[in-house]
Amino acid sequence: MLIKLNPDGIVQPSPSEITPEHVYLNRRQFIARIAATAAAGSALWEMANREAFAQAGTRLAARRNAAYVAPDKVTEFHDATHYNNFYEFGTDKEDPAANAHTLRPRPWTVSIEGEVKKPQTLDIDSLRKMAPLEERIYRLRCVEGWSMVIPWVGYSLSELIKRVEPTSNAKYVEFITLADPKQMPGVRSRILQWPYTEGLRMDEAMHPLALLTVGMYGQVLPNQNGAPVRVIVPWKYGFKSGKSIVKIRFVRDQPRTSWNVSAPDEYGFYANVNPKVDHPRWSQATERRIGEDGFFKRKRETLMFNGYPDVARLYGGMDLRKYY
């Protein structure tokens, strides 16, 4: 998502170029061993522990919802957790996995504000328990031209919305994410306007596919994937799916969103996956599935609404070239 640079033109590391898990684990053990022999309580020891904690992966019980299982091959966990966009931790794909151990996903609260009859602040456990957790396998298509298939854990965002009772003035939902320079080194840079914010129109947010997400691969969200809570909107480009949310605000007017503010002619508010509407600097007709399609292999075709045709009814009569 670098501005004014075509990501397809940048040599990005293929997953095979990223440190394999066993090497990575050995490195961690190595750090832990050195740290153990050094004075206990040293910064290195703390670093090794924090990293191990961040990667621990507490299991989350969830029932698979067969109505939402993409038939595609699921992306390897290692690829899904080591090829990320999370600019609060750096702009390279491997930066979030390397740096996000400083994020503290507990304690965590999400405040629900604005045009609702029941504004409230929920801690992460209450949020998780608000509705039964489901596992859903969704495609995630990034505007940069790559995609993954991930088993997310969460429940329809509509479950939360119904419980807080939006007023008739609530036309949009705004998602505001954490921007704490102490935990997130990337927010000191000016690459985006912080906090990272995103938004949906109310009917989009109420669509059952929109997922309030607290886990993936049967465990709590790893820090680099947006712990402890994010949204996943699978028919839209990945940048609509804000990570590490701290506020959900119901508003009358279309909210400003980080990428739209930074490059309005490149990243629209709607951002529906659409192979017929190219990004000004590159085509959206095809995509590379991480872990499957190599740099030199033919890319696969991108599907309208990322293969979720049911959502077309949300956009009847709208010119999707204008509202990109």
Closest CB to ligand MTE: residue number: 238
- Considering the rule CB under 6 A, would residue 86 count as an interface residue with ligand MTE? yes
The residue among 166 and 242 lying less far from ligand MTE, judged by its C-beta, is 242
Binds ligand MTE by CB under 6 A, chosen from 142, 187, 210, 212: 142
Residues 206-265 that bind ligand MTE (CB under 6 A): 225-226, 238-239, 241-244
CB 258 within 8 A of CB 198: yes
How far apart are CB 313 and ligand MTE at their closest, in Å?
25
CA R_g for the chain = 19
DSSP class per residue in 223-266: GGGTTT-EEE-TTB-GGGS-SSEEEEEEESSPPP-HHHHH-TTT
CB 55 within 8 A of CB 27: no
Q: Long-range pairs for 3-9 at CB < 8 Å and ≥24 separation?
A: 3/191, 3/262, 3/263, 3/266, 4/263, 6/281, 6/282, 7/144, 7/145, 7/282, 8/144, 8/145, 8/282
Binds ligand MTE by CB under 6 A, chosen from 7, 51, 75, 87: 87
The residue among 115 and 287 lying less far from ligand MTE, judged by its C-beta, is 287
- Considering the rule CB under 6 A, would residue 84 count as an interface residue with ligand MTE? yes
How far apart are CB 203 and ligand MTE at their closest, in Å?
22
For residue 197, give every residue at least 6 positions away whose Cβ sits within 8 Å of its Cβ, in sequence order, or none.
174, 175, 176, 177, 242, 255, 256, 257, 258
The residue among 78 and 163 lying less far from ligand MTE, judged by its C-beta, is 78
The residue among 141 and 207 lying less far from ligand MTE, judged by its C-beta, is 141
Binds ligand MTE by CB under 6 A, chosen from 99, 147, 156, 177: 177
The residue among 172 and 175 lying less far from ligand MTE, judged by its C-beta, is 175
Which positions lie near ligand MTE, rule CB under 6 A? 1, 84-88, 140, 142, 177, 196, 225-226, 238-239, 241-244
